[in-house]
Structure 1
Amino acid sequence: MIEPTFLDELARFDPSVQRRVDAVRQGEQRSTEVGEGLTFSDHRKYTPGDDTRLVDWRVYARTEELYVKQYEAERNLTVHVLLDASTSMDFGGDRTVSATPHKFESAAKLGLGFAALAAAERNAFRFALLGETFERIDRNRSTQGEVLRLIEQLNETDPDGETDFRTACEDYAATIDSKSLVLVASDFLDDPAEIEAGLAALQRNDLTLAHVLAPDERDPPARGDTIFRDPEADTTLRTYFGANVERRYRDRLQSHIDEIEAVGDRLGARHVAVDSGADFFDTFGEVWVE
């Protein structure tokens, strides 16, 4: 259960989104207006009907051709939270017990923290669940009241089904119309090639990957004859979980984590390994602060 009181502790963090993403221009849509709040972007050839005030006469003096200046309208930065809601995220403990480490809730709290700090700076935020595609669950109201409503909705959300990671990310990326800060919170238990293809669609934004795993995934408590269940495929596997199998499991898990980190490196994204059993605010500091 996510308790709203955790939001009070976020005051310890600098809420300035722009400080984290100072390389990201606030807004990408072209504008032909002249005035304050605009950033020079590029030139294009003059066409009849263009505002002559935008003609760059210095360029004309050099080239004897008319070019107009193009500008980008400066807007508040938008924070996008993409939260994996597949069945594999429903792992780690009893959600009715607040002290129990649970993957979905840990990931949700990270996203809610991003949304709350965005609202504190009067930046916009969007919040979506990833499944076969994406589902926007915010109401386009970037306020602290909306964050509280999202807490209630997420407490009632049961992670279910499989995530088509590539399709969900590509579909969502098509809705982003300006460079933004994007947090993807997931266990990334999918083919790394599919994950990379999905994240590539979000690449032009400031992208952070919160790679969430539960303590029992990193260090399975199973020993001896054990039945493992795949919650998404709803299949089981019976095996003897001895020292050799445990070692191979740990090696494969670490290899997968390393692969996702390498995907992040190739795409210029920040990858942060998140242990759902660790102190939340220590973890949030690692994810939020660049």
Structure 2
Amino acid sequence: MIEPAFLDELARYDASLQRRVETVQQGHQRSTDVGEGLTFSDHRNYAPGDDTRLIDWRVYARTEELYIKQFEAERNLTVHVLVDASASMDFGGDRAEVGTPHKFEYAAKLGLGFASLAAAEHNDFRVSLLSETFDRLDRSRTSQGEVLRLVDVFNETEPAAETYFQRACEDYAATIDSKSLVLVVSDFLEDPETVEAGLSALQRNDLVLAHVIAPDELDPPARGDTIFRDPERDTKLRTYFGSHVERTYRDRFQEHRDEIEAIADRLAARYVAVDTGADFFDSFGEVWVE
């Protein structure tokens, strides 16, 4: 269960968060749209019907030609939060208990923290789930009240679907109309090629990947005769989990983790491996602050 009180404690990161926001041009994203903004762009010849208030009279004095000042429209930074809602994210502690490391709730709190700090800096945020495609949860209201509503939404969400990661990311990327900060929170338990194809659709933005990993995934408690279940495909595998199988598992898990980090490097994205057994605020600080 996510308790909204955790949002109050994010104030401890104010100084470093300011630096983080500045790296993505806090409050102003330059756009190719032309309008009456604060950033001068260029001149163009005056045409009948143009606003005479935009005539550059200094240029006229030098050239005896009428020119209009053009400005780049300024936009607020938009923070996009994408949280994996696949069945594999339903792993870890009991969701009914406060403080237990449940993978989906830990991921949701990371996303909610980003949304809350975006609202505090008067920037826009969008929050969505990734499953077969994307499911947008926010109501286009950038406020702390909306963040609190999203806490309830996440508490009522059961991660259960099989995620079509590539399609979900590509569908979402088509909705982004300006360069933004995009946080993807996932366990990335997909084929690496699929992960890379999906993230490639988002790479024109400032992309941050939070790779959430539960302690039991790093160090499986299983020993001996064990039945493993795939939560996304609802299939089971019975095996003897001895030392050889354990070593093979650890090697393959580390290899997959390394592949996801390599994808981030190729896409110029920032990658952070997040242990859901670690203190949440320590993890949040690592994800937010460069």
After TM superposition, the score normalised by the length of structure 2 is 0.88
The residue number in structure 1 matching 2:125 is: 125
Q: Structure 1 CA distance, aligned partners of 2:242 and 2:119? A: 49
Query: Which residue does 2:281 correspond to in 1?
Result: 281
The SS at the match of 1:170 is: helix
Which letter does structure 2 place at the counterpart of 1:72?
A: E
Question: Is 2:24 aligned against 1:21?
Answer: yes
How far off is 1:45 after superposition? 8.8
Contact 2:224 2:240 in 1 (8 A): yes
Q: How many angstroms apart in 2 are the aligned matches of 1:46 and 1:216?
A: 66
The offset of 1:23, in angstroms, is: 9.8
Q: CA deviation at 1:18?
A: 3.0
SS in 1 for 2:95: coil
Asked whether the equivalents of residues 203 and 269 of structure 1 are also in contact (C-alpha less than 8 Å), the reply is: yes
The residue number in structure 1 matching 2:240 is 240
How far residue 28 of structure 1 moved from its aligned partner, in angstroms, is: 2.3
Which residue matches 2:96? 96
How do 1:18-57 residues align onto structure 2 when only pairs under 5 Å count? Answer: 18-22=21-25, 26-33=29-36, 37-38=38-39, 40=41, 53=55
> Alpha-carbon deviation of 1:209?
0.2
Match of 1:134 in 2: 134
Identity %: 68
Could you list the per-position Cα deviations for residues 8-65 of structure 1 after superposition, in whole angstroms to 9, with x for gaps in the alignment?
11001124353132499614241144x5x2253xx799797796958xx8xxx9xxxx
The answer (yes or no) to whether the contact 2:35–2:70 under 8 Å persists in 1 is yes
- Provide the C-alpha distance between the structure 1 equivalents of 2:181 and 2:206, rounded to a whole number of angstroms: 5
Q: How does 1:168-183 map to 2 (within 5 A)?
A: 168-183=168-183
Which amino acid letter does the alignment assign opposite residue 257 of structure 2? I
**Cα displacement (A) at 1:72:** 2.8
Work out the number of aligned pairs and report it. Answer: 279
Give distance in 2, aligned partners of 1:118 and 1:244: 47
Distance 1:208 1:49, change over 3 A: farther
Q: Which residue of 2 aligns with 1:78?
A: 78
Distance in 1 of aligned mates of 2:186 and 2:209: 8
Give the C-alpha shift of residue 157 in structure 1: 0.4
Match in the other structure for 1:229: 229
In the alignment, the residues of structure 2 paired with residue 88 and residue 123 of structure 1 have an alpha-carbon distance, to the nearest angstrom, of: 32
1:160-216 Cα distance to aligned partner (Å, 9 max, x none): 111111111111111111111110000000011111111111111111000001100
Task: Determine whether 1:204 maps to 2:207.
Answer: no
**Alpha-carbon RMSD:** 2.6
The alpha carbon displacement at 1:74 in A equals: 1.5
Runs of 5+ in structure 2 lacking a partner?
A: none
Larger mean Cα displacement after TM superposition, 4-13 or 22-31: 22-31
Determine if contact 1:80/1:126 at 8 Å carries over to the other structure: yes
Structure-1 separation of matches of 2:49 and 2:244 = 72
Shift of 1:70: 6.2
2:200 and 2:27 map into 1 onto residues whose CA distance is 17
How far apart in 2 are the matches of 1:266 and 1:184? Answer: 16
Match of 2:156 in 1: 156
Q: Is the 8 A contact 1:27 1:73 kept in 2?
A: yes
